[in-house]
Amino acid sequence: MHDELRKLPSVDRLLQESAIRHLVQEYGHELAVEGLRYALDAARDRIRGGAPCPSSDEIVSEAVSYLNLLTRPTLRPVINASGVIIHTNLGRAPLSEETRAAMIAAARGYTNLEYDLEAGQRGSRYVHAEQLLCRLTGAEAALVVNNNAGAVLLVLTALAQGREVIISRSQLIEIGGGFRIPDVMRQSGARLVEVGTTNRTHLRDYEEALGPETAALMRAHHSNFRIIGFTAEVPLEDLVALAGEHGLLVFDDLGSGTLLDTAAFGLAHEPTMQESVAVGADIVSCSGDKLLGGPQAGIILGRAKLIARLRRHPLTRALRVDKTTLAGLQATLLHYLKGEAVDKIPVWRMIAARPDTLKQRADRWAQALSQAGVRALVIEGRSTVGGGSLPGETLPTWLVALEVDSPDALAARLRAGEPPVIARIENDRLCLDPRTVFKREEEVLLQAVQAALRSGDSHL
Ligand SMILES: *Cc1c(COP(=O)(O)O)cnc(C)c1O
């Protein structure tokens, strides 16, 4: 053992070797030394356990594995075969080609982000998406902040701090990531006045709660749940009329926010941004990366005077969006203006994907995977929109269902692969939904599944 240990080269000697040079070139001297030390320590442990001294090549290769893992980004692309189109855990909306290009262009060099090119002086970053938003929704003015949670916080802080905001008990929602309407309200300094019951709220409930301290009536989209059965909520129109009589504001948190009518795709109707504006909500907020299909952002639409107040509020600075977001949002909104959103925006392409096309893709996958020796069936299934929109609504799809002894083990292997693949398990089968997989990812996906089926000794 001691002889073998003595045969181990020193870090300094390894660094003289030509094979090491590329290691230093790629990772820099310090990391290369760390990698070699790691590999030598590991070799020493193995020798003590009775193994022979490894060759220099083996030591270098171990150092490379260590450094690859160390420097691998933790934020990585994954293939979403789950069939959940707007998956918050998977980064919500994938972006259109034009959106990506606009973001790269803004990131590469300088921009006129806050520079008025005509006047040659300081401008405002908030003009960039505003015109498009106003044109598309009919709003007088618009403001973009970091996300919709920030938008709700800003609106309540700037327009209702120290005063009362009335909201139905059925809308006191919690969405993922610990965002609860009552908590955000408390944080803003607005006082929550809850009215109605969990399942039914009437206009008179709002009326009875009105007082000298009331600043606004708020409506919040249910986001991720649905109340069914004996239910009643007050239409936005009626809230607007009531608020009008008393000189109060109506704030509509649309959650997802959409510009297109989801009913045209066989889904329930999701309230659109244009509708809320047309009905007369004074302030409307929604996310940029849910059904809109753009980058993460919080979009606020509303009356010019109110938006001006929001813009001046110090919190706006803290919730400020960056140039790449604004560039991306603009490019995404342009798709709507040009009437090409369904063709260009991935979220809408996925929503609009036709079952027969999905079946063709599923058939092809199943065939390829059957050749790898697994039982792969093509079965009918349901995709979901996700992202706190259209709760309970699904789209018909075709799934590739793999029959293996342990679908959990296969799912874990798929997650551990490169790229990781996210599948779902239904009725003890591992299911892959083509709806959320890009065409360009198909070959890689099939290879990843084949590799996962082959890998390891443990039985699947
Ligand atoms: C998603 C959602 C939010 C939060 O939006 P983010 O963009 O995730 O910050 C707020 N309210 C509702 C109703 C939502 O659905």
CATH at 377: 3.90.1150.110
Mean pLDDT of 29-52: 95
Answer yes or no: do 450 and 340 share one domain: no
Measuring from atom 14 of ligand 1, which residue has the nearest CA? 255
Answer yes or no: do 252 and 383 share one domain: no
Answer yes or no: do 138 and 29 share one domain: no
Split into its structural domains, the chain has a count of 3
Mean pLDDT of 354-372: 96
pLDDT at residue 387 tops 90: no
Measuring from atom 7 of ligand 1, which residue has the nearest CA? 148
Is the C-beta atom of 294 inside 6 A of ligand 1? no
Predicted local confidence at residue 111, as pLDDT: 95
Measuring from atom 6 of ligand 1, which residue has the nearest CA? 148
Answer yes or no: do 237 and 280 share one domain: yes
Atom in ligand 1 nearest the alpha carbon of residue 389: 15
Asked if residue 214 lies in contact with residue 246, where contact means CB atoms within 8 angstroms, the answer is: yes
Q: What is the pLDDT of residues 136-179, one digit of tens each?
A: 999 999 999 999 999 999 999 999 999 999 999 999 988 877 78
Predicted local confidence at residue 457, as pLDDT: 47
Kindly give the distance from the C-alpha atom of residue 221 to the centroid of ligand 1, in angstroms, as a whole number. Answer: 9
Answer yes or no: do 310 and 375 share one domain: no
Kindly give the distance from the C-alpha atom of residue 256 to the centroid of ligand 1, in angstroms, as a whole number. Answer: 7
Best of 92, 188, 253 for a ligand 1 pocket test (most atoms within 8 Å of beta carbon): 253
Answer yes or no: do 204 and 257 share one domain: yes
Q: Which of 290, 315, 344 corresponds to the end of one domain?
A: 344
Q: Which residues contact 94 (CB under 8 A, 6 or more apart)?
A: 346, 347, 438
Is the C-beta atom of 95 inside 6 A of ligand 1? no
Predicted local confidence at residue 459, as pLDDT: 57
Is the C-beta atom of 386 inside 6 A of ligand 1? no
Mean pLDDT of 96-105: 98
pTM metric for this prediction: 0.93
pLDDT category at 309 given cuts 50, 70, 90 is very high
Measuring from atom 1 of ligand 1, which residue has the nearest CA? 255
Q: Which residue segment(s) compose the domain that 136 sits in?
A: 95-344
Answer yes or no: do 239 and 337 share one domain: yes
Answer yes or no: do 369 and 450 share one domain: yes
Q: Is 265 exposed, middle or buried (0-12, 13-18, 19+ CB in 10 A)?
A: middle
pLDDT category at 1 given cuts 50, 70, 90 is low
Is the C-beta atom of 253 inside 6 A of ligand 1? yes
Predicted local confidence at residue 123, as pLDDT: 93
Q: What is the pLDDT of residues 236-291, one digit of tens each?
A: 999 999 999 999 999 999 999 999 999 999 999 999 999 999 999 999 999 999 99
Our CA dihedral for 162, 163, 167, 169, rounded to 10 degrees, sits at 60
Q: Compute CA distances 379 → 124, 130, 242, 247, 439, whole Å.
A: 53, 45, 51, 56, 20
Predicted local confidence at residue 458, as pLDDT: 53
Is the C-beta atom of 388 inside 6 A of ligand 1? yes
Largest distance between two CA atoms of the chain: 94
